[in-house]
Structures are given as structure tokens and as C-alpha cells.
């Protein structure tokens, strides 16, 4: 399996046990099969004040699937994916009531997947994570969340987690510089998704038999 990763570090080498614990699924290495999305993701932390555009790179890897277990989170109800985000991502400014809702939700839907080699799941950058926040705040319904996750062709990611998986992940090619127009592709995808989300959030207020987090916990 060929996997791609985009970032601002030309000399990056994936290492087991390294990473940010507050990413979507915790500490590990995040990749995709979609080379175009990986190029866009190299601009994930784009700063318009930074005039240096020479630090966006595409990394290519090959994963030996023969000895790894790939756990497909997308086959489950979307609430199990959401529970992974609530477990690992930071949510600032929650009220005591919202924190209680989150904990009750986790008790019901969080699955401990830390023993899995690789997790296949949706990606949730900061803009898409707003959907998860709104669901917790009872500002949107489950039905809206299910539609929103497809907005902007967010894409799926392969999360490399275990030592076994890292041992089977090999660098395939030298890093490739990502051209500046991928910055606009990344920003436009984000803008379109945000706009479509606001439209769906408004229109879905009129849904019948809609499901909120309060109905679930």
C-alpha cells in the first residue's frame, strides 16, 4: 500500500511513540492514499504572514499490509468516530454541563483502539472539528453531522500506530516540494466546506425526528 503525508519538514522520519497526543486518534503517524489531499495537507498550518513557501513537502511511503491489522473505523456508526475525537482532541471553554455530556458520551461510545496497528478513519482538521463541538453543544443533530463529514471531500486517513506498523512502513521516494497553488486548494476546500456546513446546519433545523446528543446519552 502506497501512503502519503504532507507537512513542513523535509527531513521528517516517522517514529513510533512520537507525535501530538491531541491529534484525532492520539500519538501516531497520519497518512492518506490520496496524493492530492496529502499535498494540500502540507499547508495545514499555513500562516499567511509567513512569506517563506519553501517548506511544504510531500512524503511517500510503502506499508507492508501482510502483517498488520487495519481497523476500519468508517464501518461503524459515526458516533464511534466522534468519541475518538472527544477522547483525544482538546475542546477549550466547555461548560460544566458540556463536560458532563462529553464524559457520558465517551462512556457509551469510546472504543479503546490503542492496541490496533493501523486505524482507517475520517480526518478532522480544526475547521471540521467545529462540527463535533457543535454536536456537543446541541447546536446540530446527528443527521447534520453525518452529512457534514462528507463536505469538502475531507478524505480518509490511515493512522499508523503500533510498533509493528512502523516497522513495516518504509520510505519509498525522496520528499517532493509542494507547489504554492496547493495552498489555495487547501484554503478553498476549507472555505467551501464551512459555507456548506452553515447552510446544512440552518436547513436541518426543520428536520423531523432529529437526534441530538441528549437523545443518545
> What's residue 152's pLDDT?
56
Per the listing, cell 455530556 goes with: 101
Percent composition of the chain: helix, strand, coil (DSSP 3-state, to 5): 45, 20, 40
Nearest CA to 127 out of 42, 75, 192, 40 is that of: 192
Quick check: 120 and 72 in contact, CB under 8 A? Answer: yes
> How far is C-alpha 50 from the chain's CA centre?
24
What whole-number distance in Å separates Cα of residue 87 and Cα of residue 97?
17
DSSP 26-71: SSSEEEBS-HHHHHHHTTTT--TT-------EEEEEEE-GGG--EE
What whole-number distance in Å separates Cα of residue 16 and Cα of residue 182?
29
Local confidence pLDDT in tens for the 217 residues of the chain: 999 999 999 999 999 999 889 889 999 999 999 999 999 989 876 555 555 556 899 999 999 999 899 999 999 998 999 999 999 988 888 889 999 999 999 999 999 999 999 999 988 766 667 777 888 888 888 888 887 776 656 678 999 999 999 999 999 999 999 998 999 888 888 888 788 888 877 777 766 778 999 999 9
Please report, for the chain, the start and end positions of each structural domain, with discontinuous segments joined by +: 2-216
- The DSSP code for 89 is S
pTM over 0.85: yes
Amino acid at each position: 500500500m502506497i501512503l502519503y503525508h504532507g507537512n513542513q519538514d523535509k527531513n521528517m522520519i516517522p517514529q513510533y511513540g512520537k507525535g501530538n497526543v491531541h491529534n484525532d486518534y492520539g500519538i501516531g503517524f497520519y497518512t492518506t492514499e490520496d496524493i492530492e489531499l496529502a499535498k494540500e495537507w502540507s499547508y495545514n498550518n499555513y500562516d499567511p504572514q509567513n512569506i517563506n513557501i519553501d517548506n511544504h513537502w510531500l512524503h511517500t511511503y510503502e506499508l507492508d499490509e501482510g502483517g498488520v491489522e487495519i481497523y476500519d473505523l468508517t464501518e461503524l456508526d459515526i458516533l464511534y468516530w466522534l468519541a475518538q475525537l472527544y477522547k483525544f482532541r482538546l475542546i477549550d471553554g466547555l461548560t460544566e454541563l458540556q463536560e458532563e455530556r462529553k464524559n457520558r458520551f465517551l462512556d457509551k461510545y469510546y472504543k479503546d483502539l490503542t492496541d490496533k496497528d493501523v486505524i482507517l478513519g475520517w480526518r478532522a482538521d480544526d475547521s471540521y472539528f467545529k462540527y463535533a463541538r457543535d454536536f456537543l453543544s446541541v447546536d446540530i443533530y446527528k443527521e447534520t453531522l453525518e452529512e457534514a463529514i462528507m463536505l469538502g471531500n475531507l478524505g480518509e486517513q490511515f493512522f499508523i500506530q503500533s510498533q509493528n506498523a512502523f516497522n513495516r512502513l518504509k520510505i519509498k521516494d525522496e520528499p517532493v516540494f509542494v507547489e504554492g497553488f496547493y495552498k489555495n486548494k487547501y484554503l478553498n476546500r476549507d472555505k467551501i466546506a464551512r459555507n456548506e456546513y452553515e447552510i446544512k446546519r440552518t436547513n436541518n433545523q426543520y428536520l423531523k425526528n432529529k437526534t441530538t446528543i441528549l437523545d443518545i446519552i
